[in-house]
């Protein structure tokens, strides 16, 4: 039995009964109509994949125009519906006209049972294929829209940032592969997104992949895709990240975390610009702009034999070094003001301001965690603030290893809950990404979510 629904529209009772008996074991649902005037109501009431439609309904009229009229009405309702026409007159011109107007196929009365079933099965496969392609395109458009809406906040007036912007303007307009280097929390993904936004690929998606969270068991499936039945959980064909990014940019974060085996597979795809889905033999061409990032010293890894030199050459046409926050001078205050504005709005804290002493404290701190640490520090301060100004006491910086900072229990619970909720919103509930941002393990995060009933 095919997982498809078919509607038979014919004014002859014997035809309807014969077709229903023939097809009831071939399709999941088989319904019949004697009058096409109720056809549109039926299409609104039930979901069909195929309409088997007679060409003539009025007595003495054999032109086939009635069938063409109702076929066009069906396709107005759903352009992807498979319409197979039934006629007792083998008019080739009419068949060509019907197919040109959107019919999937044409069957002559009296029909051959096997041929009819084969024709309907082919029409069903075409319908299902169209729906899969449509779903993939919708998914891709939604992904593109979502990712491209996340504008890069390349804030900064320091000399380091001005030089970085000039370099990005030169690099972005090319198709050169880019390697972004920098410490944790310096905004390497923002750099990648800025490159994409300034390129002529910005109408297509930038797909980000956290290679640090990629284990060997899912590497090929996630990046290159798989076909139905390739492994136990492969219930349908699936595009990999490279196919999704085709025409746009793919950002491979934490590239230094890949094993040598995964590096070899990645190198092959980058050299050939082709992927083969897991369980498939078809070669699929891809058109991608590659941007990679890492905080590791890849040259040292090459010397130790843990990173392939040929892969480094492939990903490193242009190298961009992102300056740490401590080297960006006045940008610290600018970013702190930006985060304060955002979090004051997010947590409905009105128009919060910093005291001068607070800004001096922020400016003088080394920020080993860079922009990400500053962002989290401001968020904590906003959550815990009970006045109109953020003071230096609201920032818990420079604490020594093992030093305990006393925070009222009620305030700490409130802060923790709000930070988890904020991370949940940012990452769409992805526990791996949330745990990484919050600096806890997945089990710990899961326990806290249950504890706070979030």
What is the rounded distance in angstroms from the CA atom of residue 113 to the CA atom of residue 307?
62
3-class DSSP assignment, residue 443: helix
Contacts of 300 (CB under 8 A, 6+ apart): none
Give the pLDDT of the chain (454 residues) as one tens digit per residue. 567 899 999 988 999 999 999 998 889 999 999 988 889 999 988 889 999 998 877 655 556 678 888 898 999 988 888 999 887 765 667 767 888 888 888 888 888 899 999 999 999 988 888 877 777 666 656 555 554 544 445 788 888 999 999 999 999 999 999 999 999 999 999 999 999 999 999 988 899 999 988 888 889 999 999 888 888 777 888 899 999 999 999 999 999 999 999 999 999 999 999 999 999 989 999 999 999 999 999 999 999 999 999 999 999 999 999 999 999 988 898 899 999 999 999 998 888 899 988 888 998 899 999 999 999 999 999 998 888 899 988 887 765 433 444 445 455 566 677 778 877 877 778 888 887 777 677 777 877 888 888 8
What is the rounded distance in angstroms from the CA atom of residue 362 to the CA atom of residue 332?
7
Beta bridge partners of 82: 50
Contacts of 338 (CB under 8 A, 6+ apart): 153, 155
Buried b (16+ CB within 10 A) or exposed e, 443-452: eebeebbeee
Task: Map 375-432 to HEC letters.
Answer: HHHHHHHHHHCCCCEECHHHCCCCCCCCCCCCCCHHHHHHHHHHHHHHHHHHCCCCHH
Dihedral, CA of residue 440, residue 444, residue 449 and residue 452, to nearest 10:
-100
DSSP code at position 55? S
CATH numbers and ranges of domains, the chain: 2-132 (3.40.50.2300), 150-323 (3.40.50.300), 326-451 (1.10.8.60)
SS3 content of the chain, % helix, strand, coil (to 5): 50, 15, 35
DSSP symbols for 101-149: TT-SEEEESSPPHHHHHHHHHHHHHHHHHHHHHHHHHHHHHHHHHHHHH
> Pick from 28, 111, 43: which is nearest to 81 by CA?
43
What is the rounded distance in angstroms from the CA atom of residue 268 to the CA atom of residue 17?
58
Contacts of 425 (CB under 8 A, 6+ apart): none
Q: What is the pTM of this model?
A: 0.58
Q: Give the DSSP H or E segment for 241.
A: helix 241-244
Contacts of 260 (CB under 8 A, 6+ apart): 306, 308
Assess contact for 370 and 376: CB atoms under 8 A: no
What is the rounded distance in angstroms from the CA atom of residue 275 to the CA atom of residue 21?
46
């Amino acid at each position: 039995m095919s997982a498809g629904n078919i509607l038979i529209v014919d004014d002859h009772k014997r035809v309807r009964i014969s077709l229903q008996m023939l097809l009831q074991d071939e399709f999941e649902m088989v319904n019949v109509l004697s009058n096409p005037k109720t056809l549109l109501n039926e299409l609104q009431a039930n979901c069909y994949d195929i309409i088997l439609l007679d060409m003539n309904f009025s007595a003495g009229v054999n032109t086939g125009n009635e069938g063409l009229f109702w076929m066009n009405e069906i396709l107005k309702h759903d352009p992807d519906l498979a319409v197979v026409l039934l006629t007792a007159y083998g008019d080739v011109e009419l068949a060509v006209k019907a197919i040109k107007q959107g019919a999937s196929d044409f069957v002559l009365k009296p029909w051959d049972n096997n041929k009819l079933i084969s024709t309907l099965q082919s029409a069903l496969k075409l319908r299902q294929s169209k729906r899969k392609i449509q779903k993939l395109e919708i998914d891709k458009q939604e992904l593109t829209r979502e990712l491209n809406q996340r504008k890069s906040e390349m804030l900064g007036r320091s000399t380091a940032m001005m030089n970085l912007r000039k370099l990005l303007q030169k690099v972005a307009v090319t198709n050169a592969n880019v390697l972004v280097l920098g410490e944790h929390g310096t905004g390497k993904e923002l750099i990648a997104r800025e490159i994409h936004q300034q390129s002529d690929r910005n109408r297509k998606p930038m797909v980000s992949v956290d290679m640090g969270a990629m284990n060997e068991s899912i590497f090929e499936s996630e990046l290159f895709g798989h076909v139905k039945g390739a492994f136990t959980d492969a219930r349908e064909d699936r595009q990999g990240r490279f196919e999704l990014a085709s025409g746009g940019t793919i950002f491979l974060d934490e590239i230094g975390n890949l094993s040598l085996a995964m590096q070899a597979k990645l190198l092959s795809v980058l050299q050939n610009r082709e992927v083969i889905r897991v369980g498939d033999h078809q070669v699929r061409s891809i058109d991608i702009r590659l941007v990679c990032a890492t905080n590791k010293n890849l040259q040292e890894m090459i010397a130790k034999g843990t990173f392939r030199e040929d892969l480094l050459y492939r990903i490193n046409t242009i190298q961009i070094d992102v300056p740490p926050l401590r080297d960006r001078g006045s940008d610290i205050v600018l970013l702190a003001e930006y985060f304060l504005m955002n979090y004051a709005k997010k947590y409905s804290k009105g128009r919060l301001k910093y005291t001068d002493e607070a800004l001096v404290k922020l400016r003088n701190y080394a920020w080993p965690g860079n922009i990400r640490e500053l962002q989290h520090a401001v968020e904590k301060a906003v959550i815990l603030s009970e006045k109109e100004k953020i003071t230096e006491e609201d920032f818990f910086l420079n604490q020594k290893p093992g030093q305990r900072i006393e925070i009222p229990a009620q305030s700490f619970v409130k802060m923790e809950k709000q930070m988890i909720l904020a991370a949940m919103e940012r990452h769409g509930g992805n526990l791996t990404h949330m745990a990484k941002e919050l600096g806890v393990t997945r089990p710990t995060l899961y326990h806290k979510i249950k504890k706070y009933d979030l």
